[in-house]
């Protein structure tokens, strides 16, 4: 029985995200990147968001809701920092980590989930 439970757990953990989940979560991360001060992060975030919008299915309103939630979260200004070994007196901000994990923030995740639910029918229709 334990082997079956482990096999079932393994099957769940290796399942890829759906296209709609990938796009909505990616859009949240891309939005975060566009708001960073580093020009490369801004550019990559803008390009990533553009790709997602171009390949998306359904209405754009759910993406706008995600953008608003991310922007509101960013106003809190809690970018993680690490100890900077080259300059021990100063911390080093890690905005890429922050953007990658913003999809799990309590104020952002419900908006992502609602947007995924709203867009799922359009993504399913597009696969047919």
- pLDDT in tens for each of the 128 residues of the chain? 555 555 555 555 667 899 999 999 999 999 999 999 999 999 999 999 999 999 999 999 999 999 999 999 999 988 888 887 777 778 888 899 999 999 999 999 999 999 999 999 999 998 87
Q: Alpha carbon of 22 to those of 5, 6, 89, 115: distances in Å?
A: 27, 26, 39, 12
Overall pTM > 0.95: no
Domains within the chain, CATH numbers bracketed: 18-127 (1.20.120.1620)
- The contacts of residue 98 (CB under 8 Å, 6+ apart) are 32, 78, 79, 80
For residue 74, which of 25, 31, 44 has the smallest C-alpha distance? 31
């Amino acid at each position: 029985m334990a082997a079956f439970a482990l096999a079932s757990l393994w099957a769940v953990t290796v399942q890829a995200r759906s296209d709609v989940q990938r796009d909505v979560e990616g859009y949240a991360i891309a939005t975060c990147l566009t708001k960073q001060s580093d020009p490369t992060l801004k550019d990559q975030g803008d390009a990533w968001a553009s790709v997602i919008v171009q390949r998306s299915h359904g209405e754009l309103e759910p993406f706008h809701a995600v953008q608003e939630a991310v922007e509101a979260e960013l106003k809190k200004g809690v970018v993680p920092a690490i100890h900077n070994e080259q300059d021990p007196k100063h911390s080093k901000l890690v905005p890429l980590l922050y953007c990658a994990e913003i999809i799990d923030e309590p104020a952002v995740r419900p908006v992502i989930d609602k947007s995924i639910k709203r867009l799922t029918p359009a993504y399913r229709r597009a696969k047919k």
